[in-house]
Amino acid sequence: MKTIRQKLIIPIIALALASVTACKDGNKNEPAAPMSNEMHQEKPNHDDNDGHHDGAGMDTAMNGHGNAQAILNDYFNLKNALVGDDNGKAKGLGAALATSLGNFDASHYTDAQQSELKDIVEDAVEHAEHISESDIAHQREHFKVLSKDVIDMVAITGTEMKLYEQFCPMYDGGTAWLSTKEEVRNPYYGSKMLTCGKVQREIN
Amino acid sequence: MKIVKIIAIVLLVTFVGIQFIPTTRNQSDSVPSTDFMLVNNVPKNIQNKLQISCYDCHSNNTQYPWYNKVQPVAWFLEDHIKEGKAELNFNEWNSLSTRRKTSKLRSIIKQIENGEMPLDSYTFIHRDARFSEAEAEEIINWVTQLKDSL
């Protein structure tokens, strides 16, 4: 009797485990998003980070504003990936942005600013995380709200960079984003309508 | 023939065996004061629809039909509820800031619009959780109003 039990218990456990993992796999089995790994842009990461701004970035880092700068850098990289219709790259950059948002240190701001920043960061992290695991249409939906968060963050933290708030009236009833360049490169439409939009505000 | 018998027995024993592995149940008697329905003036028909179609995975209280107590269905469900509540818990609605509420409402609208919610795997069994086109439109309109009023 005992040996039968022992013989049975192993396959039972094995099967039970198999059914658990099979189930979990089934959950995560989203249809693989078509990934375009072609490089549409020559240097997507470089566009917004030209030498002139590096100095400014370092200054802000020394003033203790480095984290806001890190967030902005990741935001612009992500924006450029979306401009380039690069779903795979945007996933990785969404994850990077979620990390830099998580590392944000608001301790040297006033209490009111801190609670506002905490709220902004919490919201933005969620959108960045979604971007790290979505197809490009979803990434763009989340980028819209993320952009609002980042614009609101900059209103508090300020930045030494020269920024352009741009606006596309066509996407989802009108949508804004930030860019370091004056010329419009639309992250919501990418190659479909690359230059749709206008500068609606200059920062610095 | 013999091998078929053995396999059948093993499967049966496994099925019975896994019933004894406990799962965490998502059940609560009280509705906290932060609940979506309590802090918003939600029309009755929309309340019903949200309760049936959303609250099983997006609140602290799931209505478990009998088959959801059976493994491995219960595991599958447990996973969904955990994920669903992390994303949005209607019971804790009012603990969110205005920014977060706006974000959530926007997501609710998009997900219903795109037919992503309620999940197909859920409506497959819960036929009454499906939204007809008219119901989806009604909910989207109401949620949009709420979002714009924040």
Overall average pLDDT of the A46-66 stretch: 41
Shortest distance, CA B125 to any CA of chain A (angstroms): 16
- Put simply, whether A89 touches B (Cβ < 8 Å) is no
B112-138: pLDDT as tens digits: 998 899 998 888 888 888 998 999 999
pLDDT of residue A32: 43
B10-28: pLDDT as tens digits: 999 888 888 877 777 788 7
Residue A175 scores a pLDDT above 90 = yes
Cα–Cα dist B147/B150, whole Å? 5
Residue A169 scores a pLDDT above 60 = yes
CB contact under 8 A, A145 and B103: yes
Greatest alpha-carbon pair distance for chain A in Å reads 82
Which chain A residue shows the shortest CA-CA distance from B15? A16
Interface of B with A (CB under 8 A): 10-11, 13-14, 17-18, 21, 72, 75-76, 79-80, 97, 99-100, 103, 106, 110
Which chain A residue shows the shortest CA-CA distance from B9? A8
Chain A residues within an 8 Å CB radius of B108: none
Which chain A residue shows the shortest CA-CA distance from B12? A12
A90, A98, A51, A48: which is closest to A73 by C-alpha? A48
pLDDT of residue A171: 92
Among A74-78, A127-131, B60-64, B111-115, whose mean pLDDT is lowest?
A: B60-64
Burial of residue A118, with CB atoms counted within 10 A of its CB: 0-12 exposed, 13-18 middle, 19 or more buried: middle
CB contact under 8 A, B21 and A16: yes
Cα–Cα dist A129/A146, whole Å? 11
Which chain A residue shows the shortest CA-CA distance from B87? A126
Residue B148 scores a pLDDT above 50 = yes
CB contact under 8 A, A126 and B103: yes
pTM above threshold 0.80? no
Are A21 and B70 a contacting pair, CB within 8 Å?
no
CB contact under 8 A, A16 and B97: no
Shortest distance, CA A56 to any CA of chain B (angstroms): 30
Out of A8, A27, A149, name the one closest to residue B79 (CB). A27
Chain B residues within an 8 Å CB radius of A20: 72, 75
Could you please report the per-residue DSSP string of B14-35? HHHHHTTS-------SPPPTT-
Domain boundaries, chain B: 34-149
Domain boundaries, chain A: 51-159
Q: Give the whole-number percent of chain A exceeding pLDDT 90.
A: 53
Residue B143 scores a pLDDT above 50 = yes
How high is the mean pLDDT of chain A? 76
Out of B10, B100, B103, name the one closest to residue A11 (CB). B10
B52-70: pLDDT as tens digits: 999 989 998 888 777 777 7
Going from the C-alpha of B63 to that of each of A133, B51, B53, B59, the distances in angstroms are 30, 10, 11, 10
Shortest distance, CA B23 to any CA of chain A (angstroms): 12
Residue A102 scores a pLDDT above 60 = yes
CB contact under 8 A, A12 and B106: no
Are B73 and B57 a contacting pair, CB within 8 Å?
no
Q: Give the whole-number percent of chain B exceeding pLDDT 90.
A: 46
Which chain A residue shows the shortest CA-CA distance from B18? A16
Overall average pLDDT of the A173-197 stretch: 92
Shortest distance, CA A150 to any CA of chain B (angstroms): 13
pLDDT of residue B96: 92
Shortest distance, CA A63 to any CA of chain B (angstroms): 28
Shortest distance, CA B53 to any CA of chain A (angstroms): 19
Going from the C-alpha of B23 to that of each of A20, B82, B84, the distances in angstroms are 12, 12, 16
Phi-psi map region of B99: left, alpha, beta (phi>0 left; psi -120 to 50 alpha): alpha
CB contact under 8 A, B72 and A23: yes
If you compute the radius of gyration of chain A from its CA atoms, what whole number of angstroms results? 22
> Which is more confidently placed, B31 or A62?
B31
Among A48-52, B44-48, B100-104, whose mean pLDDT is lowest?
A: A48-52
